[in-house]
Amino acid sequence: MTGSSRPASASAASDSETDTETETETAPYRPGYEVAAERILEYVARQGMGPGDRLPTEKDLAAEVDMSRTVVREGVKILSALGRLSVEKGRGIFVAHPKNDLWSDTFSRFLPTDPSRVGELFEFRRFTETETSGLAATRATPVQLRAIREAAQRSAEAAERNDHESFGRADAEFHQAIGAAAGNAFLSSLVDAIQRLQRQVTIVALADSAPGSLAGAAEQHLAILEAIGAGEQEQAAALMARHIDTTELQVQREIRNRIFATPAGLDGA
């Protein structure tokens, strides 16, 4: 043994420190507003708050979620835009009332960074949207089919530009157009509600970025469009199921990467 050899424990400790440093260095960056929005929603759920309940003042809320007032203010703005909070001048911050009473409890308590709740959302999406796709294949009018085609084409064009924001809008419009083409107002309403919840996942958990390959998702849109246009009910439903399953895998993987790999001590400042 030479004088330069190190004890095994020292070597192991050094390797552990290196691994920790590597994990910290490669952890995905999360904008402060995203973290603040997540923590505010967790606070609302932890306190058992419902629509109309008043949150603490901005200063006290910042203390509750352990972040700066500036970042908390941005988080509140995001959640207000998403319809989760209502900011009333001179009165305070409140849990917003959902537009649809049917979704009151689900909407107000949904945590877009919780993998289990996101899994429930995708399970419901699969149940609902395979049905709307099959129905659209047999019921879509020429005008409705054109709306589906235009949304699919916009998603393909956005994918070519790698434009996540435009792709997100086109994606929502594509699924809502199929919902409308199903010819059932109740199913169409369900798809609209699903898209509002999906938007929360995109904004709060994914920093307004679509996970996975935009080009791959756009190709799936076009394949679904083709099946609906050809009146192939079973094929349209099967392709939609595959599309939703693929999206769920990508979203869940991205949530785990972004949320659970975040270095300890992040204060969003």
Residues in a beta bridge with 86? 94
Angle separating helix axes 233-259 and 115-139, nearest 10 degrees:
160
Give me 100's structure tokens.
């649809």
Contacts (Cβ under 8 Å, ≥6 apart) of 257: 28
pLDDT in tens, 218-255: 999 999 999 999 999 999 999 999 999 999 998 888 88
C-alpha–C-alpha distance, residues 38 and 78, integer Å: 10
- Assign 106 a pLDDT band (cuts: 50, 70, 90): low
C-alpha–C-alpha distance, residues 88 and 128, integer Å: 35
Separation of CA 69 from chain center: 25
Q: Do 251 and 263 contact (CB within 8 A), yes or no?
A: no
In this prediction, residue 147 carries a pLDDT of 97
Give me 12's structure tokens.
């192991």
In this prediction, residue 102 carries a pLDDT of 53
Give me 132's structure tokens.
């709307």
Instruction: Please determine, for residue 266, whether its predicted confidence score (pLDDT) is greater than 90.
Output: no
Q: Give the global pTM.
A: 0.64
Identify the CA nearest to 129 among candidates 193, 187, 213, 46. Answer: 187
Averaged pLDDT of the chain: 83
Instruction: Please determine, for residue 60, whether its predicted confidence score (pLDDT) is greater than 80.
Output: yes
